Structure 1
Amino acid sequence: MIVGLPKEIKNNENRVALTPGGVFELTKRNHTVYVQSDAGTNSGFPDEKYIDAGATILSTIEEVYAIADMIVKVKEPIEEEYSLAKEGQILFTYFHFASSEKLTEAMIASKSVCIAYETVEGPNRSLPLLTPMSEVAGRMAIQQGAKYLEKPVQGKGILLGGVPGVRPGKILILGGGVVGTQAAKMAAGMGALVTILDINVDRLRYLNDILPNNVITEFSNEYNIREHIKTADLIVGGVLIPGAKAPNLITRDMLKDMQSGTVLVDVAVDQGGCIETTKPTTHENPTYIIDEVVHYCVANMPGAVPYTSTIALTNVTLPYVLQIANKGWERACDENKGLSKGVNIVNGEIILKEISEAFAV
């Protein structure tokens, strides 16, 4: 199979879909790999490394799309790429269709085969291709939240860990999944006072056992959320419904109950956000303020740490890339039911019901 790796063109997206090591695993199995020039440079992988791994370098994104049977990417195609996707071409990447009707319509029109990382399932309905980036984003949520709590960027002026004689910062985490767990670990390590809300009591029991004493678990409901936001310094949104739009757990009217300079980090922004006032931002302009509340809603947070993220992503995507390349997508999906869950749109038809439900089609 001919596999293409284009350079990501989303704002400040520095990751690349495969490391040179991943490319080597394809070429040694006699697959042909074309990599757009400088696709891996920002992740620390220059063109020479891909050439050494057996790839051919092409100058433009148009050339890569034109020649490839399968495009392997990190982020969803943006508008400049819509017309490049071809009928029958496999696109394997993060799509998050439920948050963008425009992208959904464009991929339907392309008649390509859209396989989404974020809905591929592992055992016990785990999401193996989403997990490593959720780990990165969860940890970054605290790192970025701590920065935007500083007064020069209109935060409260709070040091999350406090100092002797001064209370630590208070962090509210919505969702006890991968994002929430990793955020809690980072926040607890900094010495903050952390509360995690989730609707799964078994998950809360697990988190209560593994996390340190400065992390408190509580059942998630609207009353508890409204109470906690009154005193929280940093709120992290980490709720996920696979393939579907995230629910709005914090509504517009709740902002008035928050203290001036409170920071919201909505990691669920890729799926529409779990905060009603969320709108996607970029690393170039990461924040905006509504009712004196700082919103950080960068839609590709792991793109800021591309070396770590690219290696972590390749570790989990490569086995699936190899299955598709070796067998073709239909046979690969037939033999791997978890991979088949990643098939979102094929030949102009929506396969994943959550996408249809998001847009009532």
Structure 2
Amino acid sequence: MKIGVPKEIKNNESRVGITPAGVFELTKRNHTVFVQTQAGFGSGFFDEDYLEVGAIILLTIEDVYASSDMIVKVKEPIESEYGLIKPDQVVFTYFHFASSEVLTKAMIDSKAICIAYETVEDADGSLPLLIPMSEVAGRMSIQQGAKYLEKPIKGRGVLLGGVPGVPPGKVLVLGAGIVGIQAAKMAAGLGAHVTIMDINMKQLRYVNDVMPNHVVTEFSSEYNIRKRIKETDLIIGGVLIKGAKAPKLITKDMLKDMHPGAVIVDVAVDQGGCFETTKATTHENPTYIINDVVHYCVANMPGAVPHTSTVALTNVTLPYVIKLANEGWETACRNSLPLSKGLNVVKGKIVYKEIAEAFNLELSV
């Protein structure tokens, strides 16, 4: 198969779809891999690294799309890429369709086969291609939140870990999944007082067992959230509903009850965000302020640490890329239930229920 790896062109996105190690595994299986020049530069991988393992370097993104049967990316195609995608071309990347009707309709019109990393699902319900980026984003959420609590960048002026004689900052984590657990782990490591909320009691019991004593669990409800936000310095939104829009757990009217200069970090922004006031931002302009509350809503947080993120991502995507390349998408998806659940849009038809429901579009079964 001919596989294309274009350079990511979303704002401040420095990750790349495949590492040189991944390309090596494909070329030794006699697949052809086209890599756009400098596609890996931001992640610390150079054209020479790809050439050494058998890749063919192409100069333009247009050349990569035109030459390839399958495109392997990190982020969803943006508007300038829509016209480059060919009918029957496989596009394997993070799509997060439920947060963008424009993207959804563009991919329907393209007649391509769109396989989304974030909906590939194992038998136990886990999302293997989302986990590593959720781990990165969860840990980063505390780093960024701690930074934006600093007064020079409009935060409250609180050091999360406190110092002797001064209590630590208070962190509220919404969601006890991968993002939430990693965020709680980082916040606890800094010495903050952490409350983690979820509606899944089994998950809360797990958190209670593995976290230190200054991480407390609480059942998530509107009442409990409204109570907690009055005393919280940093809120992390890490709620995920597979393939669907995230629920709005903090509404605009709740912001008035928060400390001026408090920070909220919405890690669910790719799925529409779990705060009513969320709007996607970039690493170039990462924050905005509403009702004196600092919002950090960068839609590609792991892109700020591209080397770590790219290696972590290729570790989990490569087996699926190889399967798609070896067998073709139809046979691969027929033989792999996890991969079949990654199918979102196929030749102009929506095949994933939550996306159809998000925009009241027809579902093809």
> Among the aligned pairs, what percent are the same residue?
73
Task: Please say if 1:236 is aligned against 2:252.
Answer: no
Q: Give the distance between the partners of 1:40 and 1:168, measured in 2 at CA.
A: 40
Q: Give the distance between the partners of 1:71 and 1:357, measured in 2 at CA.
A: 27
Q: Give the distance between the partners of 2:201 and 2:52, measured in 1 at CA.
A: 51
Task: Please say if 1:130 is aligned against 2:130.
Answer: yes
Q: Give the distance between the partners of 1:123 and 1:44, measured in 2 at CA.
A: 35
- Structure 2 residue identity aligned to 1:173: V
- Structure 2 counterpart SS, 1:114: strand
- Structure 2 counterpart SS, 1:330: helix
Match of 1:59 in 2: 59
Match of 1:271 in 2: 271
Residues 101-137 of structure 1 show CA distances to partners (whole Å, capped at 9, x for unaligned) of 0000100000000000000011301000000000000
Match of 1:155 in 2: 155
- Structure 2 residue identity aligned to 1:340: S
Match of 1:97 in 2: 97
Shift of 1:340: 0.2
Q: Give the distance between the partners of 2:135 and 2:257, measured in 1 at CA.
A: 30
Q: Which residues in structure 2 correspond to 1:295-334 (within 5 Å)?
A: 295-334=295-334
Match of 2:190 in 1: 190
Q: Give the distance between the partners of 1:255 and 1:75, measured in 2 at CA.
A: 31
Match of 1:247 in 2: 247
Q: Give the distance between the partners of 2:187 and 2:53, measured in 1 at CA.
A: 40
Segments of 5+ residues of structure 2 without an aligned counterpart are none
Residues 36-84 of structure 1 show CA distances to partners (whole Å, capped at 9, x for unaligned) of 0000011000000000010000000000000100000000000110111
- Structure 1 residue identity aligned to 2:196: I
The TM-score, its normalising length taken from structure 2, stands at 0.99
Q: Give the distance between the partners of 2:162 and 2:106, measured in 1 at CA.
A: 49
Q: Give the distance between the partners of 2:36 and 2:80, measured in 1 at CA.
A: 16
- Structure 2 residue identity aligned to 1:261: G
- Structure 1 counterpart SS, 2:83: helix
Match of 1:257 in 2: 257
Shift of 1:177: 0.1
RMSD of the TM alignment (CA)? Answer: 0.4
Q: Give the distance between the partners of 2:56 and 2:340, measured in 1 at CA.
A: 30
- Structure 2 residue identity aligned to 1:300: N
Q: Which residues in structure 2 correspond to 1:1-361 (within 5 Å)?
A: 1-361=1-361
Q: Give the distance between the partners of 2:250 and 2:5, measured in 1 at CA.
A: 38
- Structure 1 counterpart SS, 2:155: coil
- Structure 2 counterpart SS, 1:91: strand
Q: Give the distance between the partners of 2:120 and 2:92, measured in 1 at CA.
A: 11
Which runs of structure 1 show a deviation greater than 4 angstroms over 4 or more consecutive aligned residues?
Answer: none
- Structure 2 residue identity aligned to 1:105: K
Q: Give the distance between the partners of 2:85 and 2:254, measured in 1 at CA.
A: 42
Q: Give the distance between the partners of 2:23 and 2:298, measured in 1 at CA.
A: 29
Q: Give the distance between the partners of 2:248 and 2:295, measured in 1 at CA.
A: 15
Shift of 1:360: 1.3
Q: Give the distance between the partners of 1:302 and 1:194, measured in 2 at CA.
A: 23
Q: Give the distance between the partners of 1:87 and 1:27, measured in 2 at CA.
A: 25
Residues 301-327 of structure 1 show CA distances to partners (whole Å, capped at 9, x for unaligned) of 000000000000000000000000000
- Structure 2 counterpart SS, 1:84: coil
- Structure 2 residue identity aligned to 1:169: G
